[in-house]
Structure 1
């Protein structure tokens, strides 16, 4: 499979230099300058492809992807990543890579937009290509702004290259203005980009009209949703509140924009759900494309933005096993396993219930040691470039997201789920149960019931895909959901309430992996509520492994699951309503931009 990131990092350096200064006055054949870079379509394409390198950062799924009802940090409580995952925010420990990477990509996109708009095509074919490149640059800029705003709220906003404006400091701008600008950019991009079927873009690692519509819907839902807001004039802590934008008519319009964008993709019929949820991620790990994947961040070799997909957020694999070391720093919130309904095939794909030992054996995990299964190294066809560079693409947008966003937007716009909303929702849910619609339960027919069903369904469908934290924030329920999750975990540790009858022991036969593309999805087991020492001995003598589920695993041990365990006590320990829903700016970010002085998130 070809990867767009074969293109050298020099392209990024080229765009960055072009945005800030001119090269030598006497350009050579081997070096472009800011005056010659946009002389040919091929050179312009290099610039646009270079922009993609700054559209993703591992902080999305790592620090900023933990601290949900799905995922917790396995690192020490003194580690800054653990602190951020548990909402112990200070301006000193806030990660900066996402912020700086997204702004770098925006600057590159601004340069590309400015340059391409000044180009003249020599043929209709060239014009089509230039239109596509311009559309990609607009879409990249919008997506990057979304990724800053959903974590940091009101931020600096510019649509011109720094070299053109000569302005090197900037202040916060209302997120509503930024969101509306993103929507305008994406609508422009949609008018310029080809459909996937046109064949001009052979990979989902670049924008098409299909994916631009999907990201437009995502932006519109965030723009219409709740967020932590404050008075941008006074920056008073007393003005901080969770709210939607004040214009109710615009909110309704945004839900229609989201619904219409999704409908355009659905009606076009070029994307579809794979029949098997498992194969969505098996093909991703094997570096293959499919009709469900609409936009991916390309990973290959050393030029992969150090994202470590499959290493930091994978399963535990012993350093001596055939797959090489995998050392996750992210664990599955123990209650997440029991959130899935019986028969939901997504559970065993999303949550890996085993680790891999030095002899390639599958060892079952206890409740505290389950790991992320979507990016597991043993499903790959080869080891990859390095243990922390597995060449696994990051899924930015899948067709199932379009279906669930469509269902959500219609419900919000009509204050009730329409027939189309229920159909879209049920498509996703039916696939989850192996195509058997009789197993999906009854779809709610009222607004609130359907909204809650969407909230839950997104948890099951997009587990560990770096959407949950800000999804909960845009619904205005981050604090409530995480508070409930912690109480559930305490109940699970105490074996009370809904967890009074869960498995205390699991008994399984140990199997050994013999190949890449390992067929193992989940270790089959028999669960026991009680097990006497005699029974345990008998089972072990028969060749079984007996695992105490509230205990520590043989591998990747995260300790006991008790109400006083560090995992339970420290989980969400910094959580505070109307404070942590938007991150403060890092001190280093404010220090380099005097325009942000005095504009820290008011609660910090």
Structure 2
């Protein structure tokens, strides 16, 4: 966290009051007249307050699992495990993201109403007020996307609650909402400065660069597939996966996405850096030219501060790094999705845990963890073991390049030279620019689309987009069904996994300091158990032999057998044309009379 917590202290009462029900906001008129919109500095506090409700732990935790990358390691009776495995009901659906996003929308609405009424004393103040208004538009759009991509058609407030009178908002078509988000972001782009203009020192705040990137993201979601139903009848028979009906608008949306990405690339202020460095910088609060937008933790009291504790590597409570106890793991099939030589694999997936004596102990297949936010890479523990002061990567330049490639392919029904160039920039970085290892880039529309879909999984793993990306491509059910079958094949040692390592020999070595240079524990792989004499030689050389399908692991010590409960229960609630959009929690409907009778038709 680099922002000054004092800047948002005056808005704390607003945030606290929104934790229970986002609509229980204090009087905006009183708030305005007494404290905020009488000078630029205080107006900035209001905008910074909006940022505090742009992220929630659910976005990477409950909603980040249940993909072909990530699974829940909690028990089947745990609500987080249930949501991760599509066992939805109207009482176990999380509400924090919904609440937080609408609290941020309310902040933004208050700012959007009041900022244009302020008079600037000089050109410098005018630029600052324009920037603050641009940030407000961008925040509103980003938050609404986060609600829509999980819940579909939802309320769409565009004015402060105090002006609306009694809050009573019904569902609005997601097409209308996302089109409104696009308009907001286009306004934001007009008002915001480029990062290179020097007005914004941190990627924790929107710049024109970031607004263009989020615009591309919104446009792709708006053009994509979604689970839809008739908002008049709410008939279960009307539920279907489909794009919007307006084909011309879909084309326009792909054009908007393409042009937004082009603006970023042409500007030349962002670039790719070494993949490992991206995440070492992230955990240590260092900015770089690749990460375009981050969520800052806003001080030690943030309840979103479990990044690396919940979604990182395992570290024993007695080790020097302090306890890290992930509740989510990397699917072992994801490990094998990476081609040999892809440097992203060992960054994204941590193949070791830290024991009580600081020893790096190799993980078995079931115990592989998320490596991008590992505690060993930090310079210090941080505020607390579950509040490590690690920012969240909202938007990276590599994402922009892949969105560019995707939009070009859709618009031209096949990859243009430009689409190939954008795709290959990302893939080349993954192989340290060794084109011989990259493999050939597909030339047809369908094959290139599949390549982009795959590349987004490899590039953006565990960053919170996969679940809804699969839904917007209309392939969530198919992809996860295939993933489970692959996992069963891996457990049986069949098909493409017939020759994977069944044993690995490695040396137990201690991590001796923070900023640990180790990315992955080296090993010798065996497709069959080593002979007795080979094992004796390994012992003599100081190696430890690990059965990769076995249950010896510091984290998630389960066997990888086809009958193991964590495998048989994976995606157990998956049902096509039903789970692609979550139902609303019953309390969410009870709190808003306008939603009465407007539950997801299949719940």
Whether these two folds match at TM > 0.5 is yes
Distance 2:503 2:302 in 1: 41
Residue equivalent to 2:378? 380
Distance 1:410 1:574 in 2: 35
Residue equivalent to 2:280? 282
1:471 maps to 2:469: yes
Distance 1:236 1:245 in 2: 18
Cα displacement (A) at 1:303: 3.8
Q: Is the 1:364–1:553 Cα contact (8 Å) retained in structure 2?
A: no
Cα displacement (A) at 1:300: 5.2
Q: Is the 2:501–2:526 Cα contact (8 Å) retained in structure 1?
A: yes
Alignment map for 1:318-337 (pairs within 5 Å)? 318-337=316-335
Cα displacement (A) at 1:22: 5.9
Residue equivalent to 1:52? 51
Q: Is the 1:5–1:304 Cα contact (8 Å) retained in structure 2?
A: no
Alignment map for 1:141-290 (pairs within 5 Å)? 141-274=140-273, 276-290=274-288
Q: Is the 1:74–1:558 Cα contact (8 Å) retained in structure 2?
A: no
Cα displacement (A) at 1:521: 0.2
* Higher mean displacement: 436-445 or 308-317: 436-445
Cα displacement (A) at 1:37: 1.7
Residue equivalent to 2:41? 42
Distance 1:113 1:477 in 2: 37
Distance 1:590 1:111 in 2: 24
Q: Is the 2:47–2:135 Cα contact (8 Å) retained in structure 1?
A: yes
Cα displacement (A) at 1:169: 1.0
* Higher mean displacement: 278-287 or 525-534: 525-534
Cα displacement (A) at 1:286: 1.1
What secondary structure is seen at the aligned counterpart in 2 of 1:83? helix
What secondary structure is seen at the aligned counterpart in 2 of 1:128? helix
Residue equivalent to 1:554? 553
Distance 1:587 1:280 in 2: 40
Q: Is the 2:503–2:527 Cα contact (8 Å) retained in structure 1?
A: yes
Cα displacement (A) at 1:558: 3.1
Residue equivalent to 2:134? 135
Distance 1:145 1:335 in 2: 33
What secondary structure is seen at the aligned counterpart in 2 of 1:290? coil
Q: CA RMSD in A?
A: 1.4
Deviation per CA, 1:281-316, whole angstroms, max 9, x where unpaired? 001111100000000001254243433001000100
Q: Is the 2:194–2:207 Cα contact (8 Å) retained in structure 1?
A: yes
Distance 1:120 1:166 in 2: 28
Residue equivalent to 1:13? 13
Residue equivalent to 1:27? none
Q: Is the 1:231–1:240 Cα contact (8 Å) retained in structure 2?
A: yes
What secondary structure is seen at the aligned counterpart in 2 of 1:335? helix
Structure 1 segments, 4+ long, off by >6 Å, are 15-18
What secondary structure is seen at the aligned counterpart in 1 of 2:353? strand
Residue equivalent to 2:99? 100
Q: Is the 2:189–2:212 Cα contact (8 Å) retained in structure 1?
A: yes
Distance 1:499 1:88 in 2: 29
Q: Is the 2:2–2:296 Cα contact (8 Å) retained in structure 1?
A: no
2:391 alignment partner, one of 393, 397, 400? 393
Distance 2:491 2:303 in 1: 39
Distance 2:42 2:257 in 1: 34
Residue equivalent to 1:451? 449
Q: 1:16 to 1:568 in 2, by over 3 A?
A: closer
Deviation per CA, 1:519-551, whole angstroms, max 9, x where unpaired? 010000010012234432331232101000001
Q: 1:5 to 1:422 in 2, by over 3 A?
A: farther
1:298 maps to 2:304: no
Cα displacement (A) at 1:556: 1.2
* Higher mean displacement: 111-120 or 215-224: 111-120
Distance 2:71 2:481 in 1: 14
Cα displacement (A) at 1:445: 1.1
Q: Is the 2:52–2:298 Cα contact (8 Å) retained in structure 1?
A: no
1:512 maps to 2:518: no
How many residues are aligned here? 596
Q: Is the 2:470–2:476 Cα contact (8 Å) retained in structure 1?
A: yes
Q: Is the 1:331–1:372 Cα contact (8 Å) retained in structure 2?
A: yes
What secondary structure is seen at the aligned counterpart in 2 of 1:506? strand
Distance 1:125 1:99 in 2: 36
Q: Is the 1:5–1:303 Cα contact (8 Å) retained in structure 2?
A: no
Distance 2:103 2:4 in 1: 18
Q: 1:117 to 1:554 in 2, by over 3 A?
A: same
Distance 1:8 1:117 in 2: 21
Q: Normalised by the size of structure 1, how large is the TM-score?
A: 0.97
Q: Is the 2:297–2:304 Cα contact (8 Å) retained in structure 1?
A: no
Residue equivalent to 2:350? 352
Residue equivalent to 1:89? 88
Q: Is the 2:367–2:553 Cα contact (8 Å) retained in structure 1?
A: no
Cα displacement (A) at 1:439: 1.8
Alignment map for 1:522-561 (pairs within 5 Å)? 522-530=520-528, 531-561=530-560
Residue equivalent to 2:20? none
What secondary structure is seen at the aligned counterpart in 2 of 1:325? coil
What secondary structure is seen at the aligned counterpart in 1 of 2:440? coil
Q: 1:386 to 1:16 in 2, by over 3 A?
A: closer
Distance 1:394 1:23 in 2: 33
Distance 1:220 1:185 in 2: 12
Residue equivalent to 2:21? none
Alignment map for 1:433-444 (pairs within 5 Å)? 433-444=431-442
Deviation per CA, 1:436-461, whole angstroms, max 9, x where unpaired? 22321111111101100000000000
Q: Normalised by the size of structure 2, how large is the TM-score?
A: 0.97
Q: Is the 1:12–1:47 Cα contact (8 Å) retained in structure 2?
A: no
Distance 2:600 2:539 in 1: 57
